[in-house]
Structure 1
């Protein structure tokens, strides 16, 4: 039994049909041949885009010449009401300044400091789930709650039960369901003054979320001024000056950054962990292997994470099959030539972890779930050149190391106490919202061990 993926569309459909499919779910809008192509061209009346699926081209765009291929403004249009000018959307000198301030908070030593808060969130998740033992549960809801708890505990030293944190979580759940990955401006070039046609509920939820984040940020600023702030990620980021200018983030900038920390650190982790739990139910023999490994959690510490090798390989394989961010879009700032094809200035360059992670010319048995692949020569080679769940190069996700501690830890803690089982007739179908989620949720039966 293979892990499910969307049914690709036929190779040829009308432009209107393609745009409707793309806006609804960009995964099922793609033809089967893209899992083998090195490059593909898409034409619209307004612009051309090129999906690059060859490691050498991906390396050029993400690693060798990232300044020549900044993030595309077309994709950012749909996210700007929530994320403002966060590090996820900016380019050039603004982005470089933001990373100079943010990166120190996620260095190795700081990551160790966040472990106790992660462990507390994992233990709280287990406690909440014990009351549902024997029930069929929706796993994306479970993992969203757990990942949000991790973010609030590590960022602001408050649990998800905190009044403001709880409100942010509930508002964001509504936002995630309403906001498609792509806004109309992704398809049609619009002047800045033209309204972006964001749904009213989406705008209101984004405004409410940002107001709540501003409340948390203002309260933290007061504690910093009084010398009473906890030593967590928010304090670290708010007190770190840019080494070149000596300036820290102002309140508005911090609101932008916290919004993306919540989106990137909560939404993506929740997606990855939910799909991992589904894969454990689909392959119960692997679930039992991981359960046997959880003896290392008898006396958990940061060093324990390095011992959860099977959990890490399983989580990595879930990230390969179901990368939370399925596609990244860059823009060519000058004329290029890729694989002998002319690429005009302004063209959209699409890098798809979803397709690269299943590239038939690179991976052995790309559609199979096989956590042992990471110890093979093919797996090691593909990990270097064709595995980018957190992007790559200078714009690699700041929280990549954070996620690779959080994911295996939460997974191990859950499998230590529970067994997850398939529910007949509830096979999840992956679709792309803000991240790769299931069309109708991921429903599993949870059984206490």
Structure 2
């Protein structure tokens, strides 16, 4: 039986210094193998305690039942602040609630139908770009990044990726990815607020350039809204939506923060999952052929076609299980807790790891195997409810989760309708901003005979 690749785990006991070095290079291989079967694990540093929790009822307590008692930890988010500012991804409390009240209406179910033509056009453009590489071996993550960025700009600002501002943001973001470490010093040491965070110069420079470009787009859209000429896309919807409690809308600076996280979350995560899905299809050609046959339904731009892509949706969901784009989430308990007969002091870090939860040996049947049919089984249905959180869960669930579950299966199906993919070297998953392959994912692309 072929198993999809996953990183090797470290020994159970290593020094704090070695752990920090491993964590900085890749948080997945920095973790011990016991986390795939543990309900809870404690990690100690000289400055704070950290607890990884896999037990479903504890995960539910933190994410669903009492989210206000477990705010997002500032430690891991410190490294992203030069780009994200005070976006909805990093804020807590009343600030975060206000931001979600303004953002959420743009991603309600009815809006997906309105954005579908833009997704369709991006999928068509992605397939067209692959045509010139017929018969070649390519790095597929570059292609999926291009496609996902195209979706974001078309749905958010009604601009194709070929527009000069969209292209400049995309290219600058690639530079940011290469320079941004997953771990900032503040994640391990409780630095006071006044102390510099020691960001790399190229990281700060790329973040500043991205924000400057986004500011141009946002200010132009504000001018269009004032003139009554703005298109009815996501940016317009969000910028014109008032907070139902205060009547206030986002300022330009606030909107820049939100666009930055929309691009990071919507582009980076979708690109990662699409790339891994295409690799899995190359690894399992019988599934690839089934998806290609199903994709013959993609003949006209009509939202109803998504109801015919059931296999593609199951494959995309299984890819999210095996390669969740955000491998770990960190919360901080604001009051003393008791978990599994342990006293958890205020200020401890609570780590919820989709990577380990989705492969937990005491929860899932065949946890390391690729099996899209699992979602129709009793075990799969139970685990989808209790142990499947690629978009988080509860109040802080990603507002674009439904968006992603349309975009991903659509682009995956559109590519496989016209092309066969063949696997190259085995990729090694690593986690930086998202779960990517250490040296990329190389696939051979060939035009499919229809």
Aligned 8 A contact 2:70 2:332 in 1: yes
**Deviation for aligned residue 1:24:** 1.1
Query: What is the TM-score when the length of structure 1 is the normalising length?
Result: 0.99
Count, aligned residues: 447
The aligned counterpart of 2:31 is: 30
The aligned counterpart of 2:435 is: 436
> Where do residues 364-379 of structure 1 align in structure 2 (5 Å cutoff)?
364-379=365-380
CA distance in 2: counterparts of 1:270 and 1:42, whole angstroms: 32
CA distance in 1: counterparts of 2:395 and 2:135, whole angstroms: 46
CA distance in 2: counterparts of 1:388 and 1:306, whole angstroms: 23
The aligned counterpart of 2:88 is: 87
The aligned counterpart of 1:184 is: 185
Aligned 8 A contact 2:43 2:50 in 1: yes
CA RMSD of aligned residues (A): 0.5
The aligned counterpart of 1:394 is: 395
The aligned counterpart of 1:256 is: 257
Tell me the SS of whatever aligns to 1:77. helix
Deviations 1:78-107 (A, max 9, x none): 000000000000000000000000000000
The aligned counterpart of 1:115 is: 116
Tell me the SS of whatever aligns to 1:78. helix
CA distance in 2: counterparts of 1:203 and 1:162, whole angstroms: 25
The aligned counterpart of 1:213 is: 214
The aligned counterpart of 1:448 is: 447
The aligned counterpart of 2:270 is: 269
> Is 2:61 the partner of 1:60?
yes
> Is 2:282 the partner of 1:290?
no
Aligned 8 A contact 1:40 1:51 in 2: yes
The aligned counterpart of 1:43 is: 44
CA distance in 2: counterparts of 1:230 and 1:186, whole angstroms: 41
Tell me the SS of whatever aligns to 2:4. coil
CA distance in 2: counterparts of 1:306 and 1:181, whole angstroms: 38
The aligned counterpart of 1:152 is: 153
The aligned counterpart of 1:357 is: 358
**Deviation for aligned residue 1:300:** 3.5
The aligned counterpart of 2:225 is: 224
Aligned 8 A contact 1:241 1:247 in 2: yes
Deviations 1:195-244 (A, max 9, x none): 11110000000000000000000000000000000000000000000000
Deviations 1:361-391 (A, max 9, x none): 0000100000000000000000000000000
Aligned 8 A contact 1:177 1:433 in 2: no
CA distance in 2: counterparts of 1:28 and 1:240, whole angstroms: 43
CA distance in 2: counterparts of 1:225 and 1:117, whole angstroms: 24
CA distance in 2: counterparts of 1:48 and 1:74, whole angstroms: 13
**Deviation for aligned residue 1:299:** 2.4
Aligned 8 A contact 2:139 2:441 in 1: yes
CA distance in 2: counterparts of 1:189 and 1:14, whole angstroms: 19
Tell me the SS of whatever aligns to 2:343. strand
CA distance in 1: counterparts of 2:283 and 2:268, whole angstroms: 23
**Uncovered stretches (5+) of structure 1, i.e. residues with no partner:** none
Deviations 1:264-298 (A, max 9, x none): 00000000000000000000110000000012112
Aligned 8 A contact 2:117 2:301 in 1: no
Deviations 1:90-143 (A, max 9, x none): 000000000000000000111110000000000001111100011111011000
